[in-house]
Amino acid sequence: MTDVLIKGAKVLGDNAADILVRDGMIAQIGSIGSTRSSGERDGARLTVVDADGLVVLPGLVDLHTHLREPGREDAETVASGSAAAAAGGFTAVLAMANTSPVTDTAEAAERVLDLGRAAGLVDVQPIGAVSKGLAGAELAELGLMARSRAAVRVFSDDGRCVHDARLMRRALDYLKPFGGVISQHAQDPHLADGTACCHEGEVSGRLGLPAWPAVAEDVIVARDVQLARHTGSRVHVAHVSTAASVEIIRWAKAQGIAVTAEVTPHHLALGTELLAGYDPVFKVNPPLRPDADRAAILAALVDGTIDAVATDHAPHARHDKEHAFPDAAFGMLGLETALAVLAEVAVRPGLLTWAQLAQRMSFAPARIAGLAGHGRPVAVGEPANLVLLDPDATWTVDRAASQSLSRNNPWHGRTLPAPVVATFLRGECTAYRGRVRGQFDPEEIA
């Protein structure tokens, strides 16, 4: 038996306290000694972690992770993606369904669940496809996936939009009885086809890149909130990137419609001007947007219109990413840098406190996904899913040091704040200073 005593961490960035972890749960919080007289159990080893000056938050939850397995293990596996997640402070991730084969059956969902349990670094919850094969023509096995061991509650054709309104309505009707939610990739394929790769505007015209108008996102968001109102079911808008989408979501919430939304770190921090060098690392779906859109989504995250931050971690092998910009794969890495980017754009400028950041990166994502045991308060009797970060330190991102198998990291070479020091999943240290369990000696954290 091993107990863990975290000494002097600032809980949610507020008052410093000691946290005693026992049997994977938070047993005590307060001023706790580190000797047997303080409550150490007979036969148990006590690991004491000096967390003076560090901030402790509930483990982060990612609503939007691409783990690529099965089918593209050259880009990522569930194990390597779990390692990247743990290194970034996450204790749970939701794995998107656009694998090969697609996660559109109960058996496929259970396979992803089992791969995550075998890795054992974070809880991996599969997302089920809305349509068979992501083809947008016929509903996938929604009910069977929901009733499977994987207990799927979030469904998405991410990478593609559920653009058929009748199919979307049927899916919403079907999911309502068991509390399911559709995470929609809002992209009208008639307005932004498969060649579009740059926000439609001055930059796309100057660079000669196929243009993606913001309205291609906006019209799907507008349609889906109306379908959510009509059916009384839940819609979640993935990777919101436009100012108009924000206003639609704000209106929908004011009407009491069951809509939630997420934004990615890269859409908050990176802008269209970065495409001037045609570097395919910055090709992402939806595309990077101008400053006005970035300001709008940041303001919406701060005021709560946008509920959550999600990484859209999208690893790609070099042979898929290193092409001319229009031909390169969409997507960028995000799990290991998400917390630091949010610290840079929202916490350091005083727009969010650490407690508010926890709301958007832990509490709200867990609530949207229905994940028990995650997004819980740092309180006695709660699971010890925790992340320790250093609010006063900085670190330089090195793609070669990533736990991911892929290297399409847009933050490479940048100095970011608030490095993750340690991540705990049910009391076990899964990551320590960028390394994951098996790469460090447990004695190092004492």
Structure confidence by residue, pLDDT tens digits, 112-137? 999 999 999 999 999 999 999 999 99
Can you give the pLDDT at residue 58? 98
Long-range contacts of 286-291 (CB under 8 A, 24+ apart): 286/186, 286/187, 286/212, 286/217, 286/239, 286/241, 286/242, 287/196, 287/197, 287/198, 287/199, 287/212, 287/241, 288/199, 289/199, 289/214, 289/241, 289/242, 290/199, 290/201, 290/203
Structure confidence by residue, pLDDT tens digits, 245-254? 999 999 999 9
Kindly state whether residues 112 and 138 are assigned to the same domain: yes
Residue 387, domain CATH: 2.30.40.10
Percent of the chain residues topping a pLDDT of 90: 95
Q: What mean pLDDT is reported for the chain?
A: 96
Kindly state whether residues 75 and 202 are assigned to the same domain: yes
Kindly state whether residues 337 and 435 are assigned to the same domain: no
pLDDT band at 278 (very low <50, low <70, confident <90, very high): very high
Q: Is the pLDDT of residue 38 over 60?
A: no
Kindly state whether residues 90 and 145 are assigned to the same domain: yes
Residue 89, domain CATH: 3.20.20.140
Q: Is the pLDDT of residue 34 over 80?
A: no
Structure confidence by residue, pLDDT tens digits, 135-178? 999 999 999 999 999 999 999 999 999 999 999 999 999 999 99
Can you give the pLDDT at residue 437? 96
> Residues with Cβ < 8 Å from 280, sequence gap 6 or more?
321, 322, 323, 324, 325, 328, 329, 408
Kindly state whether residues 76 and 195 are assigned to the same domain: yes
Q: Whose structure tokens read 């938050």?
A: 57
Kindly state whether residues 96 and 215 are assigned to the same domain: yes
Burial (CB < 10 A; 0-12, 13-18, 19+), residue 414, is middle
Kindly state the average pLDDT of the residues 314-339. Answer: 97
Q: Is the pLDDT of residue 260 over 80?
A: yes
In this structure, is residue 374 part of a structural domain?
no
Final residue belonging to a domain, choices 336, 369, 402: 369
Q: Is the pLDDT of residue 37 over 50?
A: no
Query: Which comes out higher in pLDDT, residue 385 or 45?
Result: 385
Can you give the pLDDT at residue 45? 86
Do 252 and 259 meet the contact criterion of CB atoms below 8 Å apart?
yes
In this structure, is residue 375 part of a structural domain?
no
Kindly state whether residues 95 and 73 are assigned to the same domain: yes
pLDDT band at 41 (very low <50, low <70, confident <90, very high): low
DSSP structural state of residue 245: H
DSSP for 346-415 reads: IITTTSS-HHHHHIIIIIHHHHHHT-TTSS--SSTTSB--EEEE-TT-EEE--GGG-SSS----TTTT-E
Kindly state whether residues 313 and 170 are assigned to the same domain: yes
Total domains, the chain: 2
Cα–Cα distance, 285 to 157 (Å, whole number): 14
> What is the domain range of residue 13?
2-56+380-445
Structure confidence by residue, pLDDT tens digits, 137-147? 999 999 999 99
Kindly state whether residues 310 and 356 are assigned to the same domain: yes
Final residue belonging to a domain, choices 307, 339, 369: 369
Kindly state whether residues 231 and 361 are assigned to the same domain: yes
Cα–Cα distance, 315 to 294 (Å, whole number): 23
Kindly state whether residues 271 and 418 are assigned to the same domain: no
Angle in degrees, 0-180, between the axes of helices 291-303 and 243-254, rounded to the nearest 10: 30
Can you give the pLDDT at residue 42? 57
Kindly state whether residues 357 and 434 are assigned to the same domain: no
Kindly state the average pLDDT of the residues 406-425. Answer: 98
Q: Is the pLDDT of residue 363 over 50?
A: yes
Can you give the pLDDT at residue 36? 44
> Residues with Cβ < 8 Å from 392, sequence gap 6 or more?
53
DSSP structural state of residue 283: -
Q: Would you please indicate which residues are annotated as catalytic (active-site) residues?
A: 312
Q: Is the pLDDT of residue 434 over 60?
A: yes
